[in-house]
Structure 1
């Protein structure tokens, strides 16, 4: 994770045989069932469809008169299935947040189209919930009133609002803190409020832009596992932006790796790890480490040659994976 030290067992290595076996298991599982025995996610309906989405901005031409066009993202094509958890990773400035802004309806593409449930996205709507890094909570409202905000917009009666807000207060582990104000909460608790608020009005899609980047490492790990628990219970479609390779792999069904500016999808990696997941168990597995290294290679533009794509048997895997820590 970003800014954290990755601790891996010294005897965990990935050689050519392990790599080949892992890739074979990925191919076989992707053709049949998931780890819960359910039909593969490819058989679910398409929830989000991005078709050649491009966004350009007009900026000042530094050192010269006039303006020029800056291409933030270019020709983003992506299909996301209902109930899928997909993470987006890429270099800073590659347009991840720009894409999420378009998906939320807060911005419009310069060209291309984006659909949710077959309907063209033309602006914000209550079928999407948004959780940001900065919480974006109302300091003059207590926990319950913050969570009920979206319900108020939907004109839900007061009694029903209270019942729904209590359900999500319990879901995110804030029982007993209903009447606390935002300044009385820790960073992790504030993010729980933001998640509960986004879920309370029952959106189809949850959009998350580096929601755990501002909390400490221990809280971040706890929040990651809590988010997976909530996702497995609510079955929401989640699009999650992060700079942390470990976080991206741990959470996702698939990781979409974006190229540097202008941002476009470089490759999508299937994360075929068993669920439910516990970070302490998953982090040290060869499969997790191989996937993390694969993402790292893509982000660092390492060519996928026979020898460069395999971790040397004589080296500790921590030496190979550790560069991902600062991304």
Structure 2
């Protein structure tokens, strides 16, 4: 197994010595993240795996500029992140679709907020509806769709903004297993064809292995990087199902499982 290898490509996301503290009810400092450092390269898909409650979502909020670090810095394309940026979009566990809007209108929401002309918004939404095989549902309402279809719409809404980097906060965790596999495949194919960079946080070790070029294993609070593992079996398998049958899959799984603070895995 190869771990922590160097990469000559320039990083599109760089975290350097990130720390984040909160204050409890008694105003005592509670360290959540400590000295977090790693890079993500253009077109790469990286998963972050760690114990429940270790601050993985906090990491994404810091990367996105929604939350400032207590110390350290995040740079996107060599520019320091000091607030939200159009280079990054967020896909969360909940689809957060607006029930009073049609599927097309939900996909176009971000473009509408950016005052993109109507014709262009329709062009973009039509392209993604076609790409995901959902053109016939353009005028449907979210309540008419299954959970997997709703998450596809959430993904289309995210992609419509044409971000360079997409942050994924356990977007498949509420789905049944079969739908989850299908969406994992769709995300990988879409990111690859569009050249998007992805950062996923997940509790699912298998999901991290079959989707990622690299897996960042983080420790329990205060969180730091324990190991960065080069995986990449998704690059030479046709699907996530095939990747789960890859001879290397079990080796990666056991290695990452051994890395985790297993006593903290249960919420």
The two structures share one fold, judged by TM-score above 0.5: yes
Deviations 1:13-49 (A, max 9, x none): xxxxxxxxxx3xx58xx78xxxxxxxxxx23321001
- Determine if the alignment matches structure 1 residue 47 to structure 2 residue 12: yes
Contact 2:93–2:171 (CA<8 Å) still a contact in 1? yes
Matched position secondary structure for 1:280: helix
Alpha-carbon distance in structure 1 between the residues aligned to 2:79 and 2:195: 21
Deviations 1:287-319 (A, max 9, x none): 1110111110101479xxxxxxxxxxxxxxxxx
5 Å-filtered alignment, 1:100-115, equals 100-115=60-75
Deviations 1:201-221 (A, max 9, x none): 111110000000011111101
Contact 1:172–1:230 (CA<8 Å) still a contact in 2? no
Partner of 2:240: 279
- Determine if the alignment matches structure 1 residue 288 to structure 2 residue 261: no
Partner of 1:166: 126
Structure 1 spans left out of the alignment, 5+ residues: 1-22, 32-41, 61-65, 303-323
Alpha-carbon distance in structure 2 between the residues aligned to 1:295 and 1:151: 39
* TM-score, with length taken from structure 1: 0.77
Contact 1:74–1:262 (CA<8 Å) still a contact in 2? yes
Partner of 2:83: 123
Structure 2 spans left out of the alignment, 5+ residues: none
Alpha-carbon distance in structure 1 between the residues aligned to 2:203 and 2:133: 26
Alpha-carbon distance in structure 1 between the residues aligned to 2:238 and 2:249: 11
Partner of 1:152: 112
Deviation at 1:284, TM superposition (A): 2.1
Alpha-carbon distance in structure 2 between the residues aligned to 1:272 and 1:147: 31
- Determine if the alignment matches structure 1 residue 90 to structure 2 residue 47: no
Alpha-carbon distance in structure 2 between the residues aligned to 1:70 and 1:293: 32
- Determine if the alignment matches structure 1 residue 195 to structure 2 residue 155: yes
Alpha-carbon distance in structure 2 between the residues aligned to 1:58 and 1:277: 47
- Determine if the alignment matches structure 1 residue 228 to structure 2 residue 193: no
1:134 to 77, 87, 94: 94
Runs of 4+ in 1 over 2 A off after TM superposition: 42-45, 274-277
Deviations 1:241-290 (A, max 9, x none): 10000000000000000101111111000003243431332212221110
Matched position secondary structure for 2:156: helix
Deviation at 1:125, TM superposition (A): 2.0
Distance verdict in 2 for CA 1:276–1:159, change over 3 Å? farther
Partner of 2:138: 178
Contact 2:181–2:241 (CA<8 Å) still a contact in 1? no
Partner of 2:21: 56
Contact 2:48–2:216 (CA<8 Å) still a contact in 1? yes
Deviation at 1:139, TM superposition (A): 1.6
Alpha-carbon distance in structure 2 between the residues aligned to 1:176 and 1:79: 40
Matched position secondary structure for 1:250: helix
Alpha-carbon distance in structure 2 between the residues aligned to 1:58 and 1:237: 33
- Determine if the alignment matches structure 1 residue 255 to structure 2 residue 220: no
Contact 1:139–1:182 (CA<8 Å) still a contact in 2? yes
**Which of 106-115 and 280-289 deviates more?**
280-289
Deviations 1:80-124 (A, max 9, x none): 101110000000011100000111111110111101011111111
Larger Rg: 1
